[in-house]
């Protein structure tokens, strides 16, 4: 299957700083990328949908100014957690959708810990 | 609105026994259904999907799922469980009928499968 690479796998940052997470589709062009947040032993909560070259569509209750999403190319989307606080600590997962496929492919996830 | 339900938080099974992880869905029209598996601190791995065709779908690692339209179910099955199958399993439906038609996935709550030796 298609490969989606997410970086970093884990990050620890100080409260008030910003953290950028990258999501790359390695061997295909992704028309759409999705960003999810997952709390321990819970399901994935969709944060936003991003399409290359356009603004991301955020789900209700997700602060767009706090979770900045950039989708500059068909192979790269980034999520920046701005002014991070301990409550932002979570597991963030991206996924990418191919034009020709029906299933999405997921990155390895990023464990963010804000101290 | 489309939704997916996984009624069991956890399923326990002995190694070598058959396993079933349940999933029911509610959609408008014909569903695109998926199963994914997640190991600790990892992303999701695709197992199998139902789009159209045969109701019995075979996927990775010996898993299969049966699409049952009358019962709106898509249960995941495996004839003989392995300890290494222990993980978190998600059923999902693809939203192809939303106004934005982005194709986003709607996930069930997840079921932890514990296979004991």
Peptide bond into A8 cis (omega under 30): yes
Q: Across the interface, do B42 and A32 touch by the CB < 8 Å criterion?
A: no
pLDDT tens, position by position, A4-32? 999 999 999 999 999 999 999 888 888 78
Which residue of chain A has the CA closest to B37? A106
The predicted pLDDT at position A55 comes to 86
Percent of chain A with pLDDT over 90: 66
Nearest to A106 among B43, B51, B110 (CB): B43
**Rounded distance, CA A86 to CA B1, Å?**
33
Q: State mean pLDDT over B20-31.
A: 90
pLDDT tens, position by position, B60-89? 999 999 999 999 999 999 999 999 999 999
Nearest to B44 among A49, A102, A106 (CB): A106
The residue assigned the tokens 């970093």 is A8
Choose the mutation target among B8, B104, B106, B108 for the interface with A, i.e. most A CBs under 10 Å: B104
For β-strands B10-14 and B33-38, DSSP reports them as unpaired
Q: Across the interface, do A111 and B104 touch by the CB < 8 Å criterion?
A: no
pLDDT tens, position by position, B97-106? 554 456 788 8
Q: State mean pLDDT over B47-58.
A: 92
Which residue of chain B has the CA closest to A93? B43
Q: State mean pLDDT over A73-102.
A: 90
A99 pLDDT more than 70 = no
pLDDT tens, position by position, A26-82? 888 887 899 999 988 788 999 999 988 888 999 999 999 999 999 888 899 999 999
Run of H or E including A94: strand A90-98
For residue A22, give the nearest of A79, A71, A66 by alpha carbon.
A79
The secondary structure of B65-105 as a DSSP string is: EEEETTTTEEEEEESS--GGG-EEEEEEEE--SSSS----E
Nearest to A103 among B49, B100, B104 (CB): B49
C-alpha A10, offset from chain centre: 13
Q: Across the interface, do A109 and B36 touch by the CB < 8 Å criterion?
A: no
Mean pLDDT of chain A: 91
Q: Across the interface, do B44 and A102 touch by the CB < 8 Å criterion?
A: no
The predicted pLDDT at position B114 comes to 97
The predicted pLDDT at position A74 comes to 86
How far A9 CA lies from chain B's nearest CA (Å)? 9
The predicted pLDDT at position B81 comes to 98
């Amino acid at each position: 299957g298609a490969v989606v690479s997410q970086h970093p796998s884990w990050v620890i940052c100080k409260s008030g700083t910003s953290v950028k997470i990258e999501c790359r589709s390695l061997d295909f062009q992704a028309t759409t990328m999705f960003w999810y947040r997952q709390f321990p032993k819970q399901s994935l909560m969709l944060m936003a949908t991003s399409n290359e070259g356009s603004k991301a569509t955020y789900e209700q209750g997700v602060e767009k100014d706090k979770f900045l999403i950039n989708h500059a190319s068909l192979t790269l989307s980034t999520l920046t957690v701005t002014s991070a606080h301990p409550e932002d600590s979570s597991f963030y997962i991206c996924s990418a959708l191919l034009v020709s496929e029906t299933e999405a492919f997921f990155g390895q996830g990023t464990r963010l810990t804000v101290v | 609105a489309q939704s997916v339900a996984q009624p069991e938080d956890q399923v326990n099974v002995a190694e070598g026994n058959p396993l079933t992880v349940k999933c029911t869905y509610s959609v408008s029209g014909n569903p695109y259904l998926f199963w994914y598996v997640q190991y600790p601190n990892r992303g999701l791995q695709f197992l199998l999907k139902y789009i159209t065709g045969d109701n019995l779908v075979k996927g990775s690692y010996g898993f299969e799922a049966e699409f049952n339209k009358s019962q709106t179910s898509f249960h995941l099955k495996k004839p003989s469980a392995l300890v290494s199958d222990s993980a978190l399993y998600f059923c999902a439906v693809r939203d192809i009928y939303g106004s934005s038609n982005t194709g986003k996935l709607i996930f069930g709550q997840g079921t932890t499968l514990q296979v004991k030796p």
